[in-house]
């Protein structure tokens, strides 16, 4: 039985591991917390992150990186972006040289402005892996875990590697497309979280459906603007990892980023919101990183800028909306 590994036992990592286990692979799920790994093994359920979802008996949880990675042919990272460098630094000695690595993490490292995939590549530079792919698209783990239909894309510079990921994950309810635009796919998955916070603020302020539709559309424009300056194809942002993920994350209460924005729109402060959250809202940190990337590449990203000002500079959300509405008039 072929061994495939998922690093990160949050809701998404657990869901991905369960897909692989149900397809008959020896699916190993690494959890940072030994108590969580033992609870999953004993109860066949990840109660903190996916309560009520019964997991495949083929899924093997462990808190040992050596056990999780030894002999694995495909390694998926579902670690939150801020923890990637630490996890892969510790995992490096145990990663088989011929393993395909897949980043399913969405975010940008603040200190370096590297995407999740590039953080993995940078951490493994002493023993490099040529096939580091990206898996991204409009998915809520809760829905995929109960086998509701969803579609994502697997991006890699190697068509063979992308097809390998596609074959590994595709099922009757989880459809995987391939894509060669790694930069576009990964930026779409990271930047949409910032726009989702803005959409949540919009709804928290009760600004209406017109405002939310305009914000999502202009948010997609600025995501694409930065992506093209960084070498991505503009068409990628019309696909699953761009428009698809943006719509999902900016309109549904299952979205952690949307809910952070919604609570801010209702008047709550960021530390009070994030302090009670069990899972990470990646857009909070990504907002500052994407603003810095925009400044580096000369990309105009007004929505992202205003989100940063609201989150970190104490700007009143209504003032941020007014600022966006009163910018200089221009061609679309």
Active site residue 142: no
- C-beta atoms surrounding 145 within 10 Å: 22
Which residues are CB-contacts of 247 (< 8 A; sequence separation ≥ 6)? 138, 216
Which residues are CB-contacts of 210 (< 8 A; sequence separation ≥ 6)? none
CB 286 within 8 A of CB 190: yes
Dist. CA 319–CA 237, nearest whole Å? 29
CB 73 within 8 A of CB 3: yes
Structure tokens at 293: 């990337």
Structure tokens at 14: 């657990």
Q: Which entry of 192, 269, 278, 315 is annotated as an active-site residue?
A: 192
The β-bridge partners of 30 are 7, 62
219 burial class (0-12, 13-18, 19+ CB within 10 angstroms)? buried
Whole-number Cα distances in Å, 250 to 60, 197, 244, 293:
34, 7, 10, 22
Pairing of strands 174-179, 132-136: unpaired
CB 263 within 8 A of CB 257: no
* 130 SS3 class: coil
Q: What is the Rg, in whole angstroms, of the alpha carbon atoms belonging to the chain?
A: 19
Residues annotated catalytic, as ranges: 192
């Amino acid at each position: 039985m072929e061994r495939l590994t998922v690093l990160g036992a949050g809701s998404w990592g657990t869901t991905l591991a369960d897909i692989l286990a149900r397809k008959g692979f020896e699916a190993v799920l690494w959890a940072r917390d030994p108590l969580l790994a033992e609870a999953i093994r004993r109860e066949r359920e990840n109660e903190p992150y996916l309560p009520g979802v019964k997991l495949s008996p083929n899924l093997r949880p462990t808190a040992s990186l050596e056990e999780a990675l030894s002999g694995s042919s495909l390694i998926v990272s579902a670690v939150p972006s801020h923890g990637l460098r630490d996890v892969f630094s510790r995992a490096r000695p145990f990663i088989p040289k011929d393993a395909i690595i897949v980043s399913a993490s969405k975010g940008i490292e603040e200190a370096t402005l590297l995407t999740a995939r590039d953080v993995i590549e940078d951490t493994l530079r002493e023993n490099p892996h040529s096939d580091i792919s990206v898996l991204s698209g409009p998915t809520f783990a809760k829905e995929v875990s109960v086998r509701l239909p969803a579609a994502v894309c697997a991006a890699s510079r190697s068509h063979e590697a992308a097809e390998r990921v596609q074959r590994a994950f595709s099922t009757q309810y989880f459809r995987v497309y391939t894509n060669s635009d790694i930069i576009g796919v990964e930026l779409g998955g990271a930047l949409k979280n910032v726009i989702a916070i803005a959409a949540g603020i919009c709804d928290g302020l009760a600004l209406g459906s017109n405002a939310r539709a305009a914000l999502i559309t202009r948010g997609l424009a600025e995501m694409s603007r930065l992506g093209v300056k960084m070498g991505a194809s503009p068409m990628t942002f019309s696909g699953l990892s761009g428009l698809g993920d943006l719509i999902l994350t900016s309109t549904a209460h299952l979205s952690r980023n949307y809910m952070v924005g919604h609570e801010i729109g209702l008047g709550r402060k960021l530390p009070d919101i994030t302090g009670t959250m069990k899972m990470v809202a990646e857009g909070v940190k990504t907002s500052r990183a994407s603003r810095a990337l925009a400044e580096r590449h000369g990309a105009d990203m007004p929505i992202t800028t205003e989100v940063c000002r609201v989150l970190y500079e104490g700007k009143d959300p209504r003032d941020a909306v007014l600022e966006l509405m009163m910018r200089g008039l221009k061609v679309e």
